Structure 1
Amino acid sequence: MARHGRTGDSEAREPLLTRYTKDTEVDSDEGVIIFDKSSSTGSMGSQQMRLTYEEAVEAAGFGAFHYGLLVVCGWANASDAVEILCVSFLLPTARCDMQLSTSDMGLLTSSIFLGMMLGGYMWGYLADKKGRRKVLILSLTVNGMFGGLSSMVPWFSIFLVMRFISGIGVGGSIPVIFSYFSEFMPRKRRGTMISALATFWMAGNILAAGLAWLVIPRDWKYILGPWAFQSWRLFVVLCSVPSLTSALFFALLLPESPKFLMEAGREKEALRVFKKMFTLNMRGKEKDFTVLGLSVSPKTDLEESKILGKGGLAWALKKALMPIRQMFQAPLKGRSFVLLVIFYCISFGYYGLWMWFPELFARLEQGGSPCTNMTQQHSLRNQSCYPVKTAVYMEGFIIAASNLPGNIFTILMMDNMGGKILLSSSLLVSSLSVFLIYVVRTKYQSLILSCVFSGVSVVAWNALDVVGTELYPTHLRSSALGFFTGIGRVAAIMGNVVFGDLVDTNCAMPILLVSAFLLTGGLVAPLLPQTRNTDLT
C-alpha cells in the first residue's frame, strides 16, 4: 500500500504539495489531494495510486473509532432485542388488563414478526440505494416512537397496530446495522468485531428481562379517568428508550459507510470518513493521513432517478425487486438458496420453541414430560394476573444470561475457525438439545436444557451475521440481509402457529419438527462458500 514517506525536518509541507500540483487536483474546501491519474512519481521515489476500499480501511488504522462504533451499533442491536422480547414479558399482566383471549395473544406475539417481515427488505433496499446511516436513523426512530406510543393506547386493536409498525422499524435496523458495521472493518478483524456486535443482542435480552423483573411486578398504577396506566405500560415505555437514543447517536456521532460512498461514486465524502477514522485511531501518534485517492464506482443515482421518473410505479416496483432477482442468478444463486434454507430452519426452530418455553415449563410443574400433561390450557385460563409471579422473569433472565459463554466462544474462534464451521456445528448441537426436551422430566432439567440451547444457538446466529455480510457485494448486501430476515420472520410466525395448533393435541410433533429443521440447517451450512478473511466486494 503506497504511502508518503516522512520528509526531513527542514522540508516544509507547502513545497511538498506544490511539487504534486501538476499531477493532482486539490479540493480547496477539504484540503484533501485527489489523484486524477492512476499513478505519479515524486522525489520520494514511491508510486502513488488510488486505493481500493480494503486498502483504504487498512490505511485508516484500527482503534478508538472502531470501538466507539461497536458501542453505538451494539446499543442499536440491543434495542432491537428489547423491542422484540418486550411483548413476551408483558403478556402475563396485559392479557388481564386488556382482556385478551388466547388468539389475541397469538396475534400480538406475531404482530412484530409481521412488521419485521415487511420492513426487512424494504429498509434493506433503501439502505443499498440511499445510504445505511439515513435508513438506520429512520428505522430506529419508527421502532422507538411507535413502541413508546403503544403504551398509551387503551384499546387492543390500536395497540396491535402500534406494535406492528414498531416491528417494521425493527425489521429495517437489524440487517442494516450489520451491513453498516461490517463496512468499516478491516478484513482480518471483521469476523471478531461482527461477533462482538452480535453479543449485544444478549445484552438487550438481559436488559429486557431485567427491566421486566424490576418493573412489572410492582403493585403500581396511575388512574386517569376510565384508563389505568399500569406497571407493564411503564415497562413498554422504558423498552422504547434504547431505540430512540440509538437513532440520536447515529444522527450526531457517526458518518455514512465509506464502502457505500465509494460504490455511489462519492469520493470526497468517503475520503472525509477515512480521515475521521484515521484521526481518532491514531490520536497521540505521530502519523499523517496519506490516502490521496480512492477507486470509486461511477455515479448512477441521477440516471436511475430519471429512469424511475419515466417508468412510473410499475417500473419502480420492478426496480425494487431487482436485487432479489440478482441474488438468485449466477454466481450468487447457490449461496442464496442455501441461506434461504438456513434462515428458514433456524428461525422456525428458535422462535417457534422460544415463545413456548414458558408453556413447557408450566407443564413440567404438573409432573411428567412436557408432552404428557394436557391440563395446562385449562389452568392458564383460571390463573390470576395479580399478584404478578416473578418466576417467569427470573427464568427469562437466567436463560438470557446463558448466552454469554456462546458469545465469548464466537468472538474468540470466529476468525480462526470461520463462520461456516461454527454455523453448521452449532445448528447440529442445537438440534440435539431440542430433541432431548422430550426426554426430560423435571422443571430443573428443562431449565438447564433451555440454557444449553440458548448458549449454543446464539453461536449459530452470530456466525450467520458474519457469513451473511460477507457473501454479497455492497449494492446487494443490505437488500439480501433484509430479504433473508423477512424469510426468517415468516418461519417464526409459522413456528408459533404450528406450536399453537399441536401443543395440546400432539406436543411431540412440533418439538421433533424443530429438531429436524435445525438438523437440516446444520447439514446444508457446509455448502456455503468459505468467507474467512476475504475482501468485501
Structure 2
Amino acid sequence: MGDPYQNNMYSQHSTYSKYGRGGQDGYGYQEDYPPQEEDAASDVTEGHDEDDQMYEGEYQGIPHPDEVKAAQRAARAAARAKAGTEEEESLAEEYEAIMEDCGHGRFQWTLFTVTGLALMADGAECFVVGFVLPSAEKDMCLSNANKGMLGLIVYLGMMVGAFVWGGLADKLGRRKCLTMALAINCVFAFLSSFAQGYGFFLFFRLFSGIGIGGSVPIVYSYFSEFLSMDKRGEHLSWLCMFWMMGGIYASFTAWGIIPHYGWGFSMGTEFQFHSWRLFVLNAKHDEGWMILKQVHDINWRAKGEPERVFTVSQIKAPKQDNEFIEIQSSTGTSFQRWAVRSATLTKQVLKNILSLMSPDLRLSTLLMAIIWFTMAFSYYGLSVWFPDMIKHLQHEEYESKIKVFHRERVHHFTFNFSLENQIHKEGEYISDNFTKIQMKSVKFEDSLFEDCYFEDIRSTDTFFENCTIKSTVFYNTDLWEEKFIHCRLENTTFLHSKKGCHLDFREDNDVLIYLVSFLGSLAVLPGNIISALFMDKIGRIKMIGGSMLISAGCTFFLFLSFSQAAIIAWQCLFCGTSVAAWNGIEVITVELYPAAKRTTAFGVLNALCKLAAILGSSIFASFVGITKVVPILLSFSALVCGGLIAFKLPETREKVL
C-alpha cells in the first residue's frame, strides 16, 4: 500500500526555489530583497492608524512588499501550471509508447466486439420505442400527448444517465460504471415489456434510458484508452457503427414482433478488463501494470510470439490531490460511513465537472457544446420530422380520394360491405341493416336514421354529426357516445358495446414507417465505412465541418420535396452524410480531454445532446401539417453554424492520450 503521507514529503530530486530557501528560524525569504530593520516606521506616518499609513517607498517607485508577494505567488502558479502541462505531455508520450509495445491485436478486437455489442444493444433499446408505439398505443390507449411523452421520456433518461454515469466513471472506473449502467438498462427494459399500465411503462422506460445514457460516454472512453494514436480514429469510427446497427436490428424485427429486451447485455458485462489508465490515475500502479501485461501477452501470443517479454517495469503516475476521505470501520454506523463517502464522491464529481470550464479547457468545451447541440438539434428533429411528414402526405393523398354522397335515399337495404373514406351528407336511411362491416374514415352529416339496426361494427375515424337517430339499435359495436357529435337520439338502444380503447388508430402506414426507419438506418452504413477509412487521413475537423455543411445542403433541398419518395430519398442522403459528423464529434470529444476528465466531459456533452434532441423533436413535430419552412430553416441554420464552428477546434489526430 502506498504511503498515505507521500504528498507531504520531498522527493530525493526536489530542489528549493529561490523563494523557498530556508532562512533564519526556518522561515523562507527572498535572497535579493533587503532585510527589514525592526521599528523602521517612517516618522511622518508615526501616530497614524495602520490602515491610513502610506508606504514610503512608493515615492521612490519601489513596489510594496504585498505586491511583490502577490507577483511571486502568481509566477509560482504559472510555473506549476507549465510544469503540470509538461508533465502531462511526457506521461502521455510514455503511455503511448506502452500501448505501441503492447501492440494491436486480439485483445483490442475482443474489446471492440464486446463494447460494440453493448452499444448495439443500447442502440436497439433507444430506437425500439418508436417501433413499439403502434402496438403500445392500442394496448394502453395512448393519446397523441401520451405518445409524445413516451418518446421524450427515454431522451430525458439518457440525458440524466449521461451526466451522472459520465462523472462517476472518472472516479469509480470505466468497467464498474459500464456494468452498472448496462444492468440498469437490462432490468428496466425487461420490466417494461411486462408493464400493463401507462404510468409503469413510462417509469420503466425512464430508468432504462438512464442506463442507455450512461453506457454511451463510457464505451467510447473505455475503448479509446486501449488504442494507440495511429489506430484510434479509425477504430473508434468502426465502434460508432454498432449504434446504428442496433437501430437496423430494431427496425427489421419490428415487422414481426416487439423486440425482446436485454439480449446483448450479459456479453457486455462479462468482460473483465478494467481501464488501466484509471488504475494509474488512482495510484494502483501494480494493477495497472498487470492489465497492460495481459494485453501485451494476449496480443503477441495471438501473433505467434508468446516468448516476447513485456519490457515496461513501472508506470509513472501524475501527481494527485489528496481528495479521498477514508473512514475507519469503527467510526460511526455503516450508514454514516456510506453517507460521508457518497458526499465526498459527489463533491469530487462536481469538481471534475466544473474543471471542464478551467482556462485550458474552457474554449474547447464551449465550442464542443455548440457543435453537439446544433448537430443533435437538427439530426433528432429531422428524424422525427421525416416520418411525420410522410404520414401527413399519406393523409393528404388519402383525403384527396374521398367520396362524397349527397342526399342519398336508402330504404330496406342491408349493408354487408365495408365503408371507407366516405362522407354522406343529408342522407335518409329507413329500416336499413348494417351488419358485420368495417367503417373507416366515414362521416355522416345532417342525416336521418330511422328503424335501423347496427350489429358487429368495427369503426375507425367514423363519426355521426348533426344527425337524427330514431328507434335504432346498436348491438356489439364500437360506436360509442363520443362518435355522435350534436346528434339527436330518440328511442335508441346500445347493447353489448365492444370494450376497449375509445381512441382511433390508423394501421395502414405502420409498415411504411418501419420501412422508412429501416432505410434511414441502413443509409448510415456507407457513411460509417467511408468516415472510418478517412478519419485519420483528412482529420477530425474537416470530417465534422464538411459533413455538417453537406448535411445542411441536404436539408435545404427539402424545399423541393413534394412527394413521399423524394422525402425518403433526402432522408437517406441526410443520414448517410451526417453520420460522418457524428463519428468525428465522438472521436474528438475523447481526444480533447485528459483521462481524468474524459468520461465526465463526454457525459456532460452527451447530456446536452439529449436536451437538444428533446427540443428539436418537439419543435419540428409541432410544425408538421402547418409549414415545412421553419423546420428546414432551423436545421439548415444549426448545421451551418455548427459546421463553421467546428473549424475553430484544434486538430487532435496527432495527439497522444
Same fold, TM exceeding 0.5? yes
Residue 200 (1) aligns with residue 242 (2): yes
Which residue of 1 is the match for residue 223 of structure 2?
Answer: 181
Aligned 8 A contact 1:93 1:386 in 2: no
**Secondary structure of 1:349's match?**
helix
Which residue of 1 is the match for residue 143 of structure 2?
Answer: 101
Q: CA deviation at 1:301?
A: 7.3
Letter in 2 for 1:245: S
1:456 corresponds, among 564, 570, 577, to 577
Kindly report the root-mean-square deviation, in angstroms, between the aligned alpha carbons of the 2 structures.
Answer: 2.7
Letter in 1 for 2:371: I
- Aligned counterparts of 2:577 and 2:325: Cα–Cα separation in 1: 45
Which residue of 2 is the match for residue 447 of structure 1?
Answer: 568
**Secondary structure of 2:227's match?**
coil
Which residue of 1 is the match for residue 27 of structure 2?
Answer: none
Distance change in 2, residues 1:394/1:500 (3 Å): closer
- Aligned counterparts of 1:97 and 1:193: Cα–Cα separation in 2: 43
Residue 340 (1) aligns with residue 369 (2): yes
After TM superposition, the structure 1 = structure 2 runs for residues 347-386 of structure 1, keeping only pairs within 5 Å, are 347-366=376-395, 382=461, 384-385=505-506
Which residue of 1 is the match for residue 623 of structure 2?
Answer: 502
Which is higher, the Rg of structure 1 or of structure 2? 2
Distance change in 2, residues 1:67/1:127 (3 Å): same
After TM superposition, the structure 1 = structure 2 runs for residues 413-492 of structure 1, keeping only pairs within 5 Å, are 413-492=534-613
- Aligned counterparts of 1:397 and 1:64: Cα–Cα separation in 2: 32
1:253 corresponds, among 252, 271, 276, to 271
Residue 134 (1) aligns with residue 176 (2): yes
- Aligned counterparts of 1:326 and 1:402: Cα–Cα separation in 2: 39
Letter in 2 for 1:162: F
Q: CA deviation at 1:500?
A: 3.2
Letter in 2 for 1:486: A
**Secondary structure of 2:349's match?**
helix
Aligned 8 A contact 1:93 1:388 in 2: no
- Aligned counterparts of 1:409 and 1:254: Cα–Cα separation in 2: 32
Distance change in 2, residues 1:488/1:390 (3 Å): same
Q: Which runs of 5+ in 2 are unaligned?
A: 1-10, 14-89, 329-335, 398-440, 443-459, 462-503
Give 1 or 2: higher helix fraction. Answer: 1
Letter in 1 for 2:533: L
Letter in 2 for 1:337: L
After TM superposition, the structure 1 = structure 2 runs for residues 389-428 of structure 1, keeping only pairs within 5 Å, are 389-428=510-549
Q: CA deviation at 1:391?
A: 2.0
Q: CA deviation at 1:287?
A: 1.7
**Secondary structure of 1:486's match?**
helix
Residue 166 (1) aligns with residue 208 (2): yes
Q: Percent identity?
A: 33
Aligned 8 A contact 2:392 2:624 in 1: no
Residue 303 (1) aligns with residue 331 (2): no
Q: Which moved more, 1:351-360 or 1:469-478?
A: 351-360
- Aligned counterparts of 2:538 and 2:272: Cα–Cα separation in 1: 31
Which residue of 1 is the match for residue 263 of structure 2?
Answer: 241
Q: CA deviation at 1:254?
A: 3.3
Aligned 8 A contact 2:323 2:348 in 1: no
CA deviations over 1:95-120 (Å, ceiling 9, x no partner) = 11110011101100000111111111
Which residue of 1 is the match for residue 647 of structure 2?
Answer: 526
- Aligned counterparts of 1:280 and 1:416: Cα–Cα separation in 2: 29
Which residue of 2 is the match for residue 111 of structure 1?
Answer: 153
Q: CA deviation at 1:298?
A: 5.2
Residue 69 (1) aligns with residue 111 (2): yes
Letter in 2 for 1:343: W
Which residue of 1 is the match for residue 84 of structure 2?
Answer: none
Q: CA deviation at 1:121?
A: 1.5
Aligned 8 A contact 2:589 2:602 in 1: yes
CA deviations over 1:25-62 (Å, ceiling 9, x no partner) = xxxxxxxxxxx999xxxxxxxxxx99922121111111
Letter in 2 for 1:56: I
Which residue of 1 is the match for residue 164 of structure 2?
Answer: 122
**Secondary structure of 1:291's match?**
coil
**Secondary structure of 2:193's match?**
helix
After TM superposition, the structure 1 = structure 2 runs for residues 197-346 of structure 1, keeping only pairs within 5 Å, are 197-215=239-257, 232=258, 235=259, 238-242=260-264, 244-248=265-269, 252-283=270-301, 284-285=304-305, 286-297=307-318, 303-304=324-325, 317-346=346-375
CA deviations over 1:405-451 (Å, ceiling 9, x no partner) = 10111111011111111001101111111122222122111111111
Distance change in 2, residues 1:304/1:178 (3 Å): farther
Q: Which moved more, 1:337-346 or 1:504-513?
A: 504-513
**Secondary structure of 1:275's match?**
helix
- Aligned counterparts of 2:559 and 2:522: Cα–Cα separation in 1: 24
**Secondary structure of 1:213's match?**
coil
- Aligned counterparts of 2:256 and 2:343: Cα–Cα separation in 1: 51
Aligned 8 A contact 1:84 1:112 in 2: yes
- Aligned counterparts of 2:642 and 2:595: Cα–Cα separation in 1: 26
- Aligned counterparts of 1:457 and 1:354: Cα–Cα separation in 2: 12
- Aligned counterparts of 1:79 and 1:160: Cα–Cα separation in 2: 20
**Secondary structure of 1:100's match?**
coil
- Aligned counterparts of 2:624 and 2:564: Cα–Cα separation in 1: 17
Q: CA deviation at 1:131?
A: 0.2
- Aligned counterparts of 1:518 and 1:475: Cα–Cα separation in 2: 31
- Aligned counterparts of 2:298 and 2:581: Cα–Cα separation in 1: 33
Q: CA deviation at 1:270?
A: 1.0
Aligned 8 A contact 1:56 1:294 in 2: no
Q: Which runs of 5+ in 1 are unaligned?
A: 1-35, 39-48, 216-231, 369-377
Aligned 8 A contact 1:140 1:246 in 2: no
Aligned 8 A contact 2:540 2:588 in 1: yes
- Aligned counterparts of 1:274 and 1:313: Cα–Cα separation in 2: 30
Letter in 2 for 1:288: V
Which residue of 1 is the match for residue 632 of structure 2?
Answer: 511
Q: How many residues align?
A: 458
